[in-house]
Amino acid sequence: MGKETGFLEYKRRENGDVPPLERVKSFGEFHTPLDSSARRKQAARCMNCGVPFCQSAMKLSGMVTGCPLHNLIPEWNDEIYRGHDGHAFSRLHKTSNFPEFTGRVCPALCEKACMCGQDGDPVTVHDNELYLVERAYAEGYIKPVVPPIRSGKKVAVVGSGPSGLAVADELNHRGHSVEVFERDEEIGGLLMFGIPNMKLDKSVIKRRRKLMEDEGVIFHTGCNVGEDIRGSELLKDFDAVALCCGAKKARPLPAAEPGKVRGVYYAVDFLSGTTRALLKAKDRTVAALEDAGVYIDVKGKNVVVVGGGDTGNDCIGTVLRLGAKSVTALEMMKKPPVQRMANNPWPEWPKILKTDYGHEEAIALFGEDPRVFETTVKSVLTDKKGQLKQIETVKVTFKDGKMSFVEGTEKTLKCDILLIAAGFIGCEDYAADEFSAARNQRGAVITQEDGYRIPGTKLFSAGDMHRGQSLVVWAIAEGRACAREVDEFLMGYTNL
């Protein structure tokens, strides 16, 4: 343990934030890191529990608490406190392939399970992780590691989201020759085109790509398996194929379907279009974006976002930067309590109200929380040209898992742009059909029980395509586990 009384002496101190009214002028990351001295005090707060919940990934009351990667959190917190950043990063990197991603976008399941959080404030594990990986890049701890010996085995990875990158990274370091096939023009999947730049600057993904290429991974971007190359060719040319195509089949909204009503879009299409324009911009300012390319313009418009998850929040933050006149966020679920209820004790995942960066920015700009709970869209109203002008909302209730409208609660809202951020319902059909991969009711590829191999084949699947829509940290964990199975399949044993 670093400092026995650290958790008593030092209060939790998170990385700072650029004020909301200032940060909405830019698409740049807005968190300001602590200096090394302050960071070491934060690491000193770690109690080095004998059986740390922070790295457990236990399922309690149907929800997971603790890190799915089983990061050795007390070990590297202790090393940070002692000033041994190189050693600390080596312990972090032992279990985490891409801490520069999770250190930015993970909801920190580890912190929700931290012992310090039982009666006080948890350790800043999330910020400590980001500090470590960025310091590792700055100090040169992270260098290309090229396998000294190649196995002679070839592996194709379809999809370059976090799970596909983890599969590729693990198997390449093992000595297999890995090629990644990505249909978009850049790698990263939803890391690149689903998560806005202010949460994850795209230079971070490009930096990791350069490192992996230097280590021997080959990326084929703009290559759509099923169109540009057949799945049968991959099965013929490679010793194993890992399907990591994500779960990008968006959940539809019955009252309004994109393509049929002008002004209605799926959130991922809206976010990806904005990112593509930003990639062409000379800097991260809104003005530079406007000059850079085509995207869904919401300037001066009334925007409604349907969906209360991370994607919905990202849409709020993005439309505010693009100059929306107003934004309303509809959430079907009840408003969570501000504090834990007695039936939701630590270390369960806290079912409390979360006010994220987009909500904060909307409150700062418009003076009120944009969220309307227990509400959805009942119908839409358009002009003669089919352009969206208004929506009719209605309160909803749930009984036995089924949703129903509460009659008499209808309201009409001005709405020029409707963004559907209602989640995903599985992988896209053609991605699985190309390999004749069966899917379950959730639209996820069926593999052998508690495994990643599709029985009787040399096909494997991991990430959202395998488990359904989930978190980046789960995708990386699945990628690592899948790589282990692939390696054992190829070699007859594995040391991953």
Percent of the chain with pLDDT over 70: 100
> Does one domain contain both 287 and 164?
no
Residue 179: the pLDDT is 98
Domain housing 44? 6-139
> Does one domain contain both 438 and 297?
no
> Does one domain contain both 289 and 412?
yes
Contact status, residue 76 vs residue 91, Cβ threshold 8 Å:
yes
pLDDT in tens, 113-152: 999 998 899 999 999 999 999 999 999 999 999 999 999 9
Residue 199 inside a domain? The answer is: yes
Residue 149 inside a domain? The answer is: no
Residue 278 has pLDDT above 90, yes or no: yes
Residue 426: the pLDDT is 95
Domain end residue (candidates: 109, 139, 169): 139
* Nearest by Cα to 425 from 269, 253, 248: 248
Which structure tokens are listed for 379? 């119908």
> Does one domain contain both 74 and 162?
no
DSSP state of 116: G
CB atoms within 10 A of CB 229: 17
Measured at the CA of 401, the angle between CA 396 and CA 403, to 5 degrees, comes to 25
Which structure tokens are listed for 319? 């439309």
Residue 401: the pLDDT is 85
Measured at the CA of 176, the angle between CA 171 and CA 182, to 5 degrees, comes to 65
Domain end residue (candidates: 139, 174, 201): 139
pLDDT in tens, 292-343: 878 999 999 999 999 999 999 999 999 999 999 999 999 999 999 999 999 9
Compute CA 87 distance to the chain's CA centroid, rounded to the nearest angstrom: 27
Residue 461 has pLDDT above 80, yes or no: yes
Angstrom distance (rounded) from CA 274 to CA 364? 23
> Does one domain contain both 134 and 162?
no
* Nearest by Cα to 100 from 29, 158, 39: 29
Residue 253 inside a domain? The answer is: no
Residue 403 inside a domain? The answer is: yes
Q: Is residue 305 within a helix (H) or strand (E), and if so which, with residue range?
A: strand 302-306
| Number of domains, the chain | 3
Mean model confidence pLDDT for the chain = 96
Which CATH number does the domain housing residue 394 bear? 3.50.50.60
Percent of the chain with pLDDT over 90: 94
As a whole number, mean pLDDT of residues 279-283 equals: 94
Residue 117: the pLDDT is 92
Which CATH number does the domain housing residue 52 bear? 1.10.1060.10
Domain end residue (candidates: 366, 389, 420): 420
Residue 448 inside a domain? The answer is: yes
Q: Is residue 399 within a helix (H) or strand (E), and if so which, with residue range?
A: strand 388-399
Contact status, residue 46 vs residue 4, Cβ threshold 8 Å:
no
Residue 78 inside a domain? The answer is: yes
> Does one domain contain both 480 and 351?
no
Residue 292: the pLDDT is 85
Residue 45 inside a domain? The answer is: yes
Residue 370: the pLDDT is 98
Residue 1 has pLDDT above 70, yes or no: no
Residue 337 inside a domain? The answer is: yes
Coil, strand, or helix at residue 199?
coil
Which residues are paired to 392 by β-bridges? 379, 412
> Does one domain contain both 289 and 326?
yes
> Does one domain contain both 44 and 132?
yes
pLDDT in tens, 9-39: 999 999 999 999 999 999 999 999 999 999 9
Which residues are paired to 265 by β-bridges? 419
CB atoms within 10 A of CB 1: 15
> Does one domain contain both 168 and 76?
no
> Does one domain contain both 412 and 482?
no
> Does one domain contain both 233 and 329?
no
pLDDT in tens, 64-94: 999 999 999 999 999 999 999 999 999 999 9
Residue 51: the pLDDT is 87
Which structure tokens are listed for 169? 């990274």
Contact status, residue 48 vs residue 30, Cβ threshold 8 Å:
no
Residue 2 has pLDDT above 80, yes or no: no
> Does one domain contain both 415 and 432?
no
Residue burial 307-334, b: 16+ Cβ < 10 Å; e: rest: bbebbbbbbbbbbbbbebebbbbbbbee
